[in-house]
Structure 1
Amino acid sequence: MRDDELGEFAGRVEHVSWQEMLPESDFVSLHVPASADTHHLVDAAALTAMKPTAILVNTARGPVVDETALVAALRDGTIAGAGLDVYENEPALAPGLAELPNTVLLPHVGSATVSVRSEMARLCAENAVAIARGGLAPHTVDPDALNHR
């Protein structure tokens, strides 16, 4: 986020690198897309860099976290705990993950709130109406793909 986008938080937020942030954070909450750049963003090295009292939260995409490394880190106390709503090889879990007492595991329901699901339904309806009228869906993920039909 750029400084001019911080609004009321300007002056209270400090930009630091991933490597600087990990050892300073009590909670690391992931909000990134799945891509080659984010695959195993949280690996054994990242987990080792975190505080032993830190909690990792992944509601982004499963492959962002190396679950095998996470299980090891949770078992040996490298970090204190983890909360996951997505999994590396969904629906399968890494061996040992479900048995750990320092995890909270959800069945990929992070978006299951009335407001989020209502907005999702509204966007779908808006797209369907636009297409039915012969137009382009206003929320097309990849408009260029339509040129290759």
Structure 2
Amino acid sequence: MENMNIDEILNKLPCNVRESARKILEQKKEEKLLRDKVHKHVCNLIEPVNINEIEKILNELDKTTWTNIVEERAISLLCGLPTCSNSIDEPKKQKYIIDFEDMTIHENDSEKLKFCSKDCWKSSNYLKSQLFDQPLWLRSTKLVKKFNLSGLSKQNL
């Protein structure tokens, strides 16, 4: 279908369904463009970036996409916060972790292990909490949010 344009496809259909088929094909084409755009952002955010670069694309990201970005960075052994260039350790398989800073023992929270520090973890969650619930291709591209970046940890921005 990628090699054929919409008109070529429609000309092969009966006349009575062409208009509705055109709408569906145009929607699918737009959806693919938006999915590709978001995928490009995920790929770009695997490497460390500055906060200005993230700020430009926040309206095109959603919570699930942010989780994917954190996961991809962790697989690469980079801190899950895209503005941080610190590395992280290989994930531990142990059930409990001793937090010497707080002098507590708690269950291994593998999500926190995707970050180099509590500040980066908190900053990532702060950003994620402001993102859209739905992906870009399922909502209007005209929806724009004003993001509050003042609550982010300044050490890694």
TM-score (norm 1): 0.26
Which has the greater radius of gyration?
Answer: 2
Structure richer in strand, relative to its length:
1
Return the TM-score normalized by structure 2: 0.25
Higher relative contact order structure (alpha carbons within 8 Å, sequence separation ≥ 6):
2
Determine which structure has the larger helix proportion and give its number.
2
